[in-house]
Structures are given as structure tokens and as C-alpha cells.
Structure 1
Amino acid sequence: MPGHLPIVVYPPSPTGGRRVRVDGEILGLAMSVRDVAEFLRRAGMDDITEDDVVLSGMIDWRGGGPDVWTPAAL
């Protein structure tokens, strides 16, 4: 997976899902790791898999890792 593009997955929104940003551009609201992988494929990372998304140290997971998709209870 290319390391030159900054990849950020933001904390879950109040309604669920997480914004995904690559190289400064918001790609969409992901509801799962599968969605993140699809956004990255559409951004040109053709060989990315869901395992790559989970295991990569290149993704900045904010507000929880790849297993967090709903907001924390307040």
C-alpha cells in the first residue's frame, strides 16, 4: 500500500460511520472496513484488501481502531 498519501479515518459520527480522508480529500462516510477498502481502491490503491486496512500502520485511526464504528456512549 502506498505510504505517500496521508490516510485518516475519523471518529464515528453521532449517527454512526466514519469519514475517510485521503491526501486531504474526504472520500465518504464508511460504515465498515469494507467501505474504507473500497474508498481506497477508488482513490487508486487497486490492490488494497480489508486485511490491509486493518493491519496497516499507514492509516491514522482517530477515535478508535478499525473495530469501532459507532460513537461511544456518553
Structure 2
Amino acid sequence: MAELRVIVYPPDEDGGRRVRCDGEILGRAFGPGDVIEFLRRAGLDPDDVDLPAPGLIEWRGGGPAVWSSEAPPER
């Protein structure tokens, strides 16, 4: 089976992130569980998905811990 190309786009103003797999929009995720569910529907075994691991998912605008379009506060 060919490797899937998954892209999770930056959060929008509502905190949702568009998820695309091999050119097809899977949906709008509001947390890591949504991403896992979209990938399950695309045919991946959720037990084999490691969200922060490099390779499977290209995270744009922050990794799997970022679900807000607001910039973090300055320290």
C-alpha cells in the first residue's frame, strides 16, 4: 500500500483545522481525536497512528497540541 500524504492545516478563527489526505478534504478537526477518526475513515488503523511522529502527517501552523488561531502569550 502506498504511503498516504496527510496535511493538517493551521487553525481557523474557530479553532478548527482542515484535514486533507491524498488531495481529498476529510473534514475539519477540533482536536486530536477528530484527526484520528478522519484517518480511521481513510483506512488507517488508529492504533498505528502516532500524531506527533514525523512522516505520516504534515502539521501546518503548529503540531497536534495547537488548536487555536491565537498566538501564545509573550513571556
TM norm structure 1: 0.83
- Tell me the TM-score normalised to structure 2 length: 0.82
Quote the residue 2:25 is aligned against: 26
Greater helix proportion: 1
Q: Deviations over 1:7-59 (max 9, x none)?
A: 000000111110000000000000011100000000010x2249612334321
What are the within-5 Å matches in structure 2 for residues 22-61 of structure 1?
Answer: 22-45=21-44, 47-49=45-47, 52-61=50-59
C-alpha separation between the residues in 2 aligned to 1:31 and 1:7? 16
Residue of structure 2 in register with 1:70 after alignment:
68
Which runs of at least 4 in structure 1 moved beyond 6 Å after TM superposition?
Answer: none
Bigger Rg, structure 1 or 2? 2
CA root-mean-square deviation: 1.9
Asked if 2 retains the 8 angstrom alpha-carbon contact of 1:16 and 1:71, the reply is yes
